């Protein structure tokens, strides 16, 4: 019998830049608990990158858990399913945390959480049926981006040689992916197997930051149990440095390949999927239950009982916070997502979206720093994982035209926030980069 097989390795490519942020993984030992079904959910039609869905139910219709309530004929889109059973109460517009207005379906609960009868384990035995099933499941990238997964996996066969499972979770506070690995390592590996075999990907690398030893052990134990040939499934320990989980950074760490500006991971033969998405595919293959709930970390200095929770998509953020004991002090800032890239919201009266992975509430008022003059210390450039010079871009922003800014590589910026984190002068460098990108896009629109 051949010896096993799956091994734990350290990173291939050494990342330059990044910042050391305090991890604050306070909830790492909190198992994911299921939140009781809320009275109502609000399901926005835009919970993914791409075209919004259109409702296929009417006000007054009875719906059950997992029933498809909205879909789109567009390719880059993902259907939306009812996350509770009940009656469609209204279809109207809401403002999402990112400021976009989206149509939304409100469902009032009947308290039964009755599953939809039509649900059955999908047929997943060929590449085409897998893609079809993933589309039907409504899966989007659960790490935060929300890109429809079926589009991602519909690559030309043979062009991808490495599947990278992103379990880095480099954002402070968030621990749901960590918990997913610890509690459901078997699901993760089974999802890996489905993708690996049906999409014919020869190599799989599961990337975890070093600060999650339990997750690394759980994953490598299960991976060893698969008794695959050496190198087929590897668990990789990455340095705990922010933004290790950013796609391009992760690909470089895992394979040593660099994704050129404007290119996609598939251009260097890689497919990157969040660990929660991979585990979801395994669960979906067994139960046929589409994406109607997701795990969240609820934490921050203003939260009474920080927890990891599994909530129905569309539940109000305020209700989720209430489940965690409510606020112990007046919140000053509430963030959906992590503190480095998450969105500050102006109200808790917003639904949990498919791609949300955390709700953080802080009572400190120190999050806004006084802006002073740039002293040219170069820390923004030294921390930029994309090797840009945010300080220089800020200096030329007002004067420069689109060509100059684009020549400085502004479009490569992924807004990870390392530069702004490190800036001793408190410069709003992420906004600077966003502005630079807007100028470049406007320039391109004018010329083209």
Partner 1 sequence: MVDGRLLTASASPHFRTRDTTTLIMLDVILALVPALVASVVIFGWRALAVTGVCVACCVLFEYLSRRVMRRANTIGDLSAVVTGIILAFNLPSTIPFWMAGFGSLVAIVVVKQMFGGIGENFVNPALLGRIVLMVSFPKAMLANWATPFAWRGAAPDAITSATPLAILKSGEGDMPALLSMCFAKAGCLGEVCGAALVLGGIYLVVRRVITPVIPLCYVGTVAVCMFLRALTAGEDPLTFTAYELLSGGLLLGAIFMATDYATSPTSTSGKVIFAVGCGLLTSLIRLFGNMSEGVSFSIILMNILVPHIDALTAPRPFGVTREKRKCKKDGEEAAA
Q: Which parts of this chain interact with partner 1 (CB under 8 A)? A: 19, 21-22, 172, 248, 252, 258-261, 263, 318, 327, 330-335, 339-348, 362, 365, 367-369, 372-378, 381-382, 385-389, 391-392, 408-409, 412, 415, 417, 420-426, 428, 430-431, 434
CB closer to partner 1, 222 vs 440: 440
Q: How far is the CB of 121 from partner 1 (least distance, A)?
A: 39
By beta-carbon proximity to partner 1, the closer residue of 354 and 379 is 379
- Full 3-state SS string of the chain: CCCCCCCEEECCCCCCCCECCCCCCCCCCCCEEECCCCCEEEEECCCCCCCCCEECCCCCCEECECCEEEECCCCCCCCEECCCCEEEEEEEEEECCCCCEEEEEEEEECCCCCECCCCCCCCCCCHHHHHHHHHHHCCECCCCCCCEHHHHHCCCCCCCCEEEEEECCCCCCCCHHHHHHHHCHHHHHHHHHHHHHHCCCCEEEEEEECCCHHHHHHHHHHHHHCCCCCCCEEEEEECCCECCCCHHHHHHHHHCCCCCCCCCHHHHCEEEEEHHHHHHHHHHHHHCCCCCEEEEEEECCCECCCEEEEEECCCEHHHHHHHCCCECCCCCEEEECCCCCCEEECCCCCECCCCCCEEEEECCCCCCCCCCCCCCCCHHHHHCCCCCCHHHHHHHCCCCCHHHHHHCCHHHCCCCCHHHHHCCCCCCHHHHHHHHHHHHHHHHHHHC
Nearer to partner 1, 193 or 253 (CB): 253
Q: Which is nearer to partner 1, 44 or 391 (CB)?
A: 391
Report, in Å, the least distance between residue 264 CB and partner 1: 11
Nearest distance, CB of residue 200 and partner 1, angstroms: 26
Closest CB to partner 1 among 22 and 445? 22
- Cβ closest to partner 1, residue 28 vs residue 384: 384
Question: Which of 116, 327 has the CB closer to partner 1?
Answer: 327
CB of 81 to partner 1, least distance (A): 29
Least distance between partner 1 and beta carbon 430 (Å): 6
Q: Closest approach of Cβ 143 to partner 1, in Å?
A: 15
CB of 391 to partner 1, least distance (A): 8
């Amino acid at each position: 019998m051949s010896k096993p097989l799956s091994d734990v390795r350290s990173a291939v490519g050494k990342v330059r830049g990044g910042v050391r942020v305090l991890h604050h993984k306070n909830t790492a030992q909190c198992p994911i608990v299921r939140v009781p079904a809320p009275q109502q959910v609000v399901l926005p039609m835009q919970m993914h990158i791409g075209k919004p869905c259109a409702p296929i139910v009417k006000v007054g219709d009875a719906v059950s858990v997992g029933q498809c309530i909205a879909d789109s004929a567009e390719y880059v889109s993902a259907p939306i399913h009812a996350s509770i059973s009940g009656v469609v109460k209204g279809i109207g517009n809401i403002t999402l945390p990112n400021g976009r207005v989206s149509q939304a379906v409100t469902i009032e609960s009947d308290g039964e959480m009755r599953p939809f009868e039509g649900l059955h384990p999908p047929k997943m035995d060929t590449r085409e049926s897998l893609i079809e099933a993933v589309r039907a499941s409504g899966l989007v990238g659960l790490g935060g981006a929300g890109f429809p997964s079926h589009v991602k996996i519909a690559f030309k066969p043979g062009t991808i040689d490495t599947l990278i499972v992103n379990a880095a979770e480099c954002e402070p506070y968030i621990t749901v992916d960590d918990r997913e690995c610890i509690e459901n390592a078997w699901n993760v590996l089974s999802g890996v197997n489905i993708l690996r075999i049906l999409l014919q990907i020869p190599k799989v690398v599961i990337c975890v930051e070093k600060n999650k030893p339990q997750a690394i052990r759980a994953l490598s134990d299960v991976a060893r149990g698969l008794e695959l040939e050496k190198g087929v499934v590897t668990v990789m320990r990455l340095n705990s440095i922010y933004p290790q989980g950013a796609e391009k950074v992760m690909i470089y760490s895992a394979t040593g390949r660099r994704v050129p500006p404007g290119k996609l991971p598939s251009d260097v033969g890689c497919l990157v999927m969040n660990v929660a998405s991979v585990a979801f595919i395994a669960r979906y293959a067994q139960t046929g239950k589409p994406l109607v709930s997701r795990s969240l970390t609820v934490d921050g200095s203003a939260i009474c009982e920080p927890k990891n929770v599994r909530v129905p998509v569309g539940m109000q953020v305020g209700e989720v916070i209430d489940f965690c004991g409510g606020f112990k002090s007046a919140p000053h800032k509430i963030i959906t997502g992590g503190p480095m890239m998450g969105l500050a919201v102006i109200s808790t009266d917003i639904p949990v979206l498919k791609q949300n992975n955390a709700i953080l509430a802080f009572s400190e008022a120190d999050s806004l720093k006084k802006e002073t003059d740039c002293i040219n210390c170069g820390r923004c450039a030294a921390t930029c994982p994309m090797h840009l010079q945010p300080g220089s871009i800020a200096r030329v922003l007002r004067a420069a035209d689109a060509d100059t800014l684009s020549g400085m590589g502004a479009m490569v910026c992924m807004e990870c926030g390392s530069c702004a984190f490190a800036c001793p002068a408190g410069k709003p460098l992420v906004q600077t980069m966003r502005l630079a990108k807007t100028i470049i896009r406007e320039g391109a629109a004018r010329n083209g």
